[in-house]
Protein backbone atom coordinates (compact mmCIF):
# COMPACT_ATOMS: atom_id res chain seq x y z
CA UNK A 1 0.00 0.00 0.00
CA UNK A 2 1.16 3.51 -0.68
CA UNK A 3 2.25 4.94 -3.97
CA UNK A 4 3.28 8.34 -5.17
CA UNK A 5 1.28 9.61 -8.11
CA UNK A 6 2.19 12.68 -10.12
CA UNK A 7 -0.75 15.09 -10.39
CA UNK A 8 -0.85 17.21 -13.55
CA UNK A 9 -3.28 19.96 -14.52
CA UNK A 10 -3.45 19.83 -18.31
CA UNK A 11 -5.93 20.45 -21.14
CA UNK A 12 -8.12 17.37 -21.56
CA UNK A 13 -10.63 17.19 -24.37
CA UNK A 14 -14.03 15.96 -23.16
CA UNK A 15 -12.63 14.64 -19.85
CA UNK A 16 -12.50 16.02 -16.33
CA UNK A 17 -9.63 13.71 -15.43
CA UNK A 18 -7.84 10.48 -16.19
CA UNK A 19 -5.59 8.10 -14.28
CA UNK A 20 -2.63 6.35 -15.86
CA UNK A 21 -2.00 3.45 -13.47
CA UNK A 22 1.14 2.19 -15.21
CA UNK A 23 2.79 5.63 -15.23
CA UNK A 24 1.43 6.50 -11.75
CA UNK A 25 0.06 9.76 -13.11
CA UNK A 26 -3.27 11.56 -12.65
CA UNK A 27 -4.23 14.27 -15.09
CA UNK A 28 -6.90 16.84 -14.24
CA UNK A 29 -8.51 19.14 -16.79
CA UNK A 30 -6.97 22.57 -16.24
CA UNK A 31 -9.98 24.37 -17.74
CA UNK A 32 -12.48 23.09 -15.14
CA UNK A 33 -13.38 25.15 -12.09
CA UNK A 34 -11.47 24.51 -8.86
CA UNK A 35 -14.42 22.71 -7.17
CA UNK A 36 -14.75 20.41 -10.20
CA UNK A 37 -10.99 19.80 -10.21
CA UNK A 38 -11.08 18.85 -6.51
CA UNK A 39 -13.94 16.41 -6.94
CA UNK A 40 -12.27 15.00 -10.06
CA UNK A 41 -9.03 14.44 -8.16
CA UNK A 42 -10.94 12.56 -5.45
CA UNK A 43 -12.67 10.55 -8.19
CA UNK A 44 -9.34 9.62 -9.80
CA UNK A 45 -7.83 8.75 -6.41
CA UNK A 46 -10.70 6.30 -5.91
CA UNK A 47 -9.70 4.62 -9.16
CA UNK A 48 -6.15 4.34 -7.80
CA UNK A 49 -7.37 2.99 -4.47
CA UNK A 50 -9.65 0.43 -6.05
CA UNK A 51 -6.85 -0.87 -8.23
CA UNK A 52 -4.16 -0.81 -5.54
CA UNK A 53 -6.27 -2.25 -2.73
CA UNK A 54 -8.60 -4.72 -4.38
CA UNK A 55 -7.06 -5.21 -7.82
CA UNK A 56 -10.26 -4.32 -9.59
CA UNK A 57 -8.73 -4.87 -13.01
CA UNK A 58 -8.15 -8.51 -12.02
CA UNK A 59 -11.62 -8.85 -10.47
CA UNK A 60 -13.69 -7.81 -13.49
CA UNK A 61 -13.37 -9.26 -16.94
CA UNK A 62 -14.53 -7.62 -20.16
CA UNK A 63 -16.35 -4.43 -19.27
CA UNK A 64 -14.31 -3.88 -16.08
CA UNK A 65 -13.76 -0.22 -16.90
CA UNK A 66 -17.50 0.41 -17.18
CA UNK A 67 -18.19 -1.34 -13.86
CA UNK A 68 -15.33 0.40 -12.08
CA UNK A 69 -16.39 3.77 -13.46
CA UNK A 70 -19.97 3.17 -12.28
CA UNK A 71 -18.77 2.36 -8.77
CA UNK A 72 -16.43 5.35 -8.61
CA UNK A 73 -19.04 7.74 -10.04
CA UNK A 74 -21.45 6.77 -7.26
CA UNK A 75 -18.93 6.87 -4.42
CA UNK A 76 -16.80 9.94 -5.26
CA UNK A 77 -19.46 12.70 -5.04
CA UNK A 78 -20.80 11.28 -1.78
CA UNK A 79 -17.35 10.97 -0.24
CA UNK A 80 -16.48 14.47 -1.44
CA UNK A 81 -19.65 15.86 0.17
CA UNK A 82 -18.99 14.02 3.44
CA UNK A 83 -15.49 15.50 3.62
CA UNK A 84 -16.79 18.96 2.71
CA UNK A 85 -19.58 18.84 5.30
CA UNK A 86 -17.39 17.38 8.04
CA UNK A 87 -14.08 19.26 8.11
CA UNK A 88 -13.20 17.78 11.52
CA UNK A 89 -13.33 14.31 9.98
CA UNK A 90 -11.13 15.43 7.11
CA UNK A 91 -8.58 16.96 9.49
CA UNK A 92 -8.70 13.93 11.80
CA UNK A 93 -7.96 11.57 8.92
CA UNK A 94 -5.20 13.74 7.44
CA UNK A 95 -3.47 14.79 10.67
Q: pLDDT 10s per residue in the chain (95 long)? A: 456 788 999 999 999 999 998 888 999 999 999 989 988 988 888 888 777 666 555 555 556 567 778 888 878 887 888 788 878 877 766 76
Q: What is the pLDDT of residue 8?
A: 94
pLDDT at residue number 2: 55
Per-residue model confidence (pLDDT) at position 65: 66
Tell me what pLDDT residue 1 has. Answer: 45
H-helix or E-strand containing 6? strand 6-10
Question: How far is 52 from 2, CA to CA, in rounded Å?
Answer: 8
Ordered structural domains, the chain, with CATH: 6-94 (1.10.10.2910)
- How far, in Å, CA of 83 to CA of 88, rounded? 9
Amino acid sequence: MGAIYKIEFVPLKDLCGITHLTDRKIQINDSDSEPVQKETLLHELLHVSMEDCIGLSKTFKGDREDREETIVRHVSPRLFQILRDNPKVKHYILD
